[in-house]
Structure 1
Amino acid sequence: MGDNGYGVRPPRTLTKALAAPVRAMNRILGAADDGSLPVGPGDDRSSVVDCGVYVDGVRQPGDWTYVDALAAARRETNAFVWLGLHEPSAAEMAGIAETYNLHELAVEDAVKAQQRAKLEQFGDTYFLVLRTARYVEHSELTENSQIVETGQVLIFIGRNFVITVRHGKGSRLGPLRAQMETKQALLEQGPWAVAYAVTDRVVDDYVEVADQVEDDLDVIEEGVFARTGGTGIQSIYQMKRELVEFRRAVIPLQRPLATLTTAQNHIVPKEIRRYFRDVQDHLVRTVEQVASYDDLLNSILQARLAQVTVDQNNDMRKIAAWAGIATVWTAFAGVYGMNFDYMPELTWRFGYPVLITVLLAISVLLYRAFRRNGWL
C-alpha cells in the first residue's frame, strides 16, 4: 500500500484497524463506503492545512500525521496537537474522529457546517462553533450586491489536542498559527490558548466588517438625501438583508463567550479566561454597532419611503393642475358643441378669435396661480 498522503507509510495493521471505523463513520455521515483512509496534504483532495505538536509552547520539528502527532503529545507532560482542517470530507473526518474520539454529532456538524455559534461538551472534549464574517468589496451598492459573506470555524478542544475546522473564505488561520508560534508563554497554556486565538481572530474580523459596513451606510444615507437621483429602496432592502446575515453571525456568540469567561468555569485556565474577557468586550462593541446600524437603516428606509410618498403627491398635484387648465377648454368646447340655434356670438365675425383669446387668458391665469402655490 502507498503512503497515506501525509508523507509516512502507515503500517498494514494500522490500516486495517482504521478501515472499520472509517466505514462506520461514513455510514453515519453519508460518505462513500470504500474503506479508504483520509487523504493527506500531498493529495489535492486533502483538507489538512497543518498538523503540529507543541511541547511547552514550542512547536516540535517534523511532518506529522494526526495519528503520530497525538501519540507524541500523549508521551509528553505539557504538550498538545493543533490539527487544522479546511472543509473536510466525511471520509477524511471519520478517520480523525476515530483517532481523537470525537462524538459523531459534533463530527456531523463539522462536516455540514450549518450551525449557529454555540459551545457543547462531549465527555472530555469541548466543541466550540463560531461563524466567520468577511466583507465583500464592491464598486457600488445595488439590489444584488453581496456585502457580507459568512462561513464557519469549528473547534474541538481536548486535553491533548485542538482541531480547527474552517469553512468558507473568512478568518484564515494560517497567519494566526504563525503568529501564535511566536508567543510561547501563551501556547504553554494548552489547547484553550488556541481556542482563544481563533475566537479573537473571528471577533476582530467582526469589528473590521462592522467598520466597513458603516461606510456603506454613509453612502446610502447621502444618496437618500441627495438633491438629485437618490438611493433606490431595493438597494436599501438588500443592505438590510446583508445586515441580518451579519447579525446572525455576531449575536449568538455572546452566550458561549459568557460561559467561557465565568468564574465558575474551571475548564479554561484562569489566564486564558482573562483573554476571553477581552474578546467579549470587542464582541459587545460589535453587537452594539450592529444594533445601531439596524436602527439607522430602518430610519433611512422610512425616510426613503416618505420621500417616495412626497414625490407621488407632487406628481398628483401637477396632474391635477394641468387637468384644471384643460377643464376650461373642455367646458367651452362642451357648450359650443350643443348645436343650439341661439349661441352667444355665433354670428359675430370676431367670435372665434375672442373665444380663443379668453381661453388662453384663463389658462395663463390658472398656470400662474398653480405655479405660485407650488403645484407646477
Structure 2
Amino acid sequence: MGARGARGARRVIVDCALYEDGVRRPGTIELADALESCRHDGRAFVWIGLHEPDEAEFDAVRDEFRLHELAIEDAVVAHQRPKLEVYGDHVFVVLKTVEYRDPDEVIDVGEILMFVAREFIVTVRHGRPSPLSEVRGRLEARPELLKLGPSAVFHAIVDRIVDDYEPAVLGVENDIQEVEAQVFTDDRTSNPTERIFRLEREVLQFQRAVVPLATPLDRLARGQFDAVHDDLHSYFRDVHDHLLRVSSQIDTQRQLLSSALQAYLAQVSVRQNDDMRRIAAWAAILAVPTALAGIYGMNFEHMPELRWQYGYPLVIAVMATICSLLYRRLRRAGWL
C-alpha cells in the first residue's frame, strides 16, 4: 500500500482497533499492519470504522482487505436498500439508520455498511444518525462477547440500529394521535390534509428502511453464514423478532394515516352537505316573500288587493306565517 493511500485512509478512519481474546490492544494500530496481526494470531480480529469515504479514500482499505469491487461501489455511493450479500470469505451488509426529528416531523435516514469476515469487520457510516462510538464502548466492556469475533460486533451494530427504530416509531405515533385529534375537532379552520400527506411520506420512507432488513436477519438467525459465530444465532433471532414488531407498527401507522385522511374527507363531505341543506332551506324560506313581493310588484292596474285597506298587513302576516311554518318544519328535519 502506497503512502498516498495510507494518508487517504487516515482521513476517513474514525477508529482502527485490534482485539485479542476480547480485549482491545492498547495504543493505535496502522492499517497496513492490522490484517497481518490477525493472521498471526487466530484469536484476534480488527475493527475499522470509516465515515463517508469517497472512492479514492477507500482504496487503502479495499487493497488491504481485498474487498469485492461491487461491494466497494455500494459502500462509497451509499443510497442502497437494506441487503445482505456474500463475496467470497466475507459478508457485505447494508443497514438503514433512522432518527425522527419531532419538531419538523421528518425522518432522517442514514446508512451503515459492513464487511464482515472471520478476521475483520469494516464499518462504513453515511449520514448523521446512529454513531457507533457508543456501541464500541459497550462491547469493549464485555470481552466475553468480543471473544466471539467480528460477528459479535456485527450483532451489536444491528441490535443498536433496530433499537433506534423504536423512538422513531413512538415519535410518529404521537404525531398520528395529534392528527387524529385535529381531524375530529369542531374547528372548521383546521385542515390536516397536508400534515397527513407529509407524515405518510415519512412513514413510507421509514418502511422502506426497515422492512427489507427482515429477510437478511432471518437468514442470520438460521445460521447460513460461516462468518457468523454459532453462539450468536439466537441473538440475531431476537433482533429479527424486534424488527418484525417494528415493521408491524409501521404498517399500522400507514393504515391509521390513511383512515384519518378518509375520515377527514368524509367529514368535509358531510359539512358541505350540511351547508348545502342550510342554503337550500333558507332559499326556500326566502322564496315565499320574494314570490309575494314579485306578484304585488308587477303594477298591473286591475289588482283588487292593491286598494284594499288591510291588504298590506295581511300580505305581511301571510309572509310571516308561511316563513315561520317553513322554518319550524325545516328545523325539525335537521336542515337548520
Shift of 1:344: 4.2
- Whether the 8 Å CA contact 2:116–2:227 is kept in 1: the answer is no
Q: Does 1:103 align with 2:68?
A: yes
CA RMSD after TM alignment = 2.1
Aligned counterpart for 1:163 among listed residues 122, 126, 132: 122
TM-score scaled by structure 1?
Answer: 0.83
**Aligned mates of 1:231, 1:151 — CA distance in 2:** 32
TM-score scaled by structure 2?
Answer: 0.92
Q: Does 1:254 align with 2:214?
A: yes
Shift of 1:201: 0.5
Shift of 1:316: 0.8
Shift of 1:345: 1.3
Q: Does 1:375 align with 2:314?
A: no
Q: Does 1:75 align with 2:45?
A: no
- Whether the 8 Å CA contact 2:90–2:117 is kept in 1: the answer is yes
- Whether the 8 Å CA contact 2:179–2:192 is kept in 1: the answer is no
Question: Percent of pairs identical after alignment?
Answer: 47
Letter in 2 for 1:271: D
Partner SS state of residue 131, structure 1 = strand
Shift of 1:352: 3.5
**Aligned mates of 1:101, 1:329 — CA distance in 2:** 94
**Aligned mates of 1:73, 1:62 — CA distance in 2:** 16
Unaligned regions of 5+ residues in structure 1, if any?
1-12, 23-35, 41-45, 139-144
- Whether the 8 Å CA contact 2:102–2:171 is kept in 1: the answer is no
Mark the CA change 1:188 to 1:344 in structure 2 (over 3 Å): closer, same or farther. farther
- Could you say which residue in structure 2 is the equivalent of 1:182? 141
Deviates more, 1:309-318 or 1:99-108: 99-108
Aligned counterpart for 1:208 among listed residues 152, 167, 185: 167
Partner SS state of residue 85, structure 1 = strand
How many residue pairs end up in the alignment?
A: 335
CA deviation digits over 1:201-252, x for unaligned, max 9? 0110112222232222222222222344556122122211111111101110
- 1:106-185 superposed matches below 5 A: 106-138=71-103, 145-185=104-144
Aligned counterpart for 1:342 among listed residues 292, 302, 320: 302
Shift of 1:68: 2.6
Aligned counterpart for 2:205 among listed residues 229, 245, 253: 245
**Aligned mates of 2:200, 2:129 — CA distance in 1:** 21
Q: Higher helix proportion, which one? A: 2
CA deviation digits over 1:321-374, x for unaligned, max 9? 111122123212332343322224112355344433432333233223322322
Higher relative contact order structure (alpha carbons within 8 Å, sequence separation ≥ 6): 2
Aligned counterpart for 1:323 among listed residues 283, 296, 299: 283
